[in-house]
Amino acid sequence: MIGRLTGTLIEKTPPQIVLDCNGVGYECEVPMSTFYNLPNLGEKVTLWTQLIVREDAHLLYAFGTERERSTFRQLVKVNGIGAKSALSILSGMSVDDLAQAISLQETGLLTRVPGIGKKTAERLLLELKDKFAVAETAGGANPVKTVTHDVLNALLALGYNEREAQLAVKQLNADISVSDGIKQALKLLSK
């Protein structure tokens, strides 16, 4: 099994890259979260990998962090989720957002990912509910996470895309209320 590659990035065409490791070019598929964090062409990079062998192909998937790779491994174990769907999920949301969606049993967050319908989202939540942990306070769910989650959902309902909404939510104060958070986020997005 190929577990990790370190080499020179020689090609970047989403979602595929080619990594030159001592004269051997490894073609890998990467989630967009990894793709956006890749260095420029010609620079060195280290990626965690997962080799999937099918009867018609050997496919290599690469990830920027070991946590992304382990999440990918958990996702492909779910009945009905293949490597392409798992890559799509990791491209559409961060590992922390996925863990939060699973802990809150929030199908709406998962159905926003292209190719994930309501039944697939429900199956993911059911099969992964004990596999992911989100930091919780003694009083239950983390209130900061709930506020940011509510503000994010409000922005998405207003028509902002996921990336814009997440960037705005990250700039909010930790102790803000939901209504004030929405107002501040809208001000940030209007600039």
- pLDDT (tens digit per residue) in 20-48: 999 999 999 999 989 999 999 999 999 99
Distance of CA 56 to the CA centre of its chain: 27
Mean pLDDT of 146-173: 80
More confident residue, 191 or 102: 102
- The pTM (predicted TM-score) of the whole model is 0.69
Does residue 9 contact residue 43 with C-beta atoms inside 8 Å?
A: yes
Q: Locate CATH 1.10.150.20 in the chain.
A: 67-128
Q: Locate CATH 2.40.50.140 in the chain.
A: 4-63
Nearest to 121 by CA among 94, 149, 154, 85: 85
CATH code of the domain occupying 143-190: 1.10.8
- In CATH terms, the fold of domain 67-128 is DNA polymerase; domain 1 (1.10.150)
Q: What is the pLDDT of residue 107?
A: 85
4-63 CATH choice from 1.10.3720.10, 2.40.50.140, 3.40.50.300, 3.30.450.20: 2.40.50.140
Nearest to 26 by CA among 3, 170, 34: 3
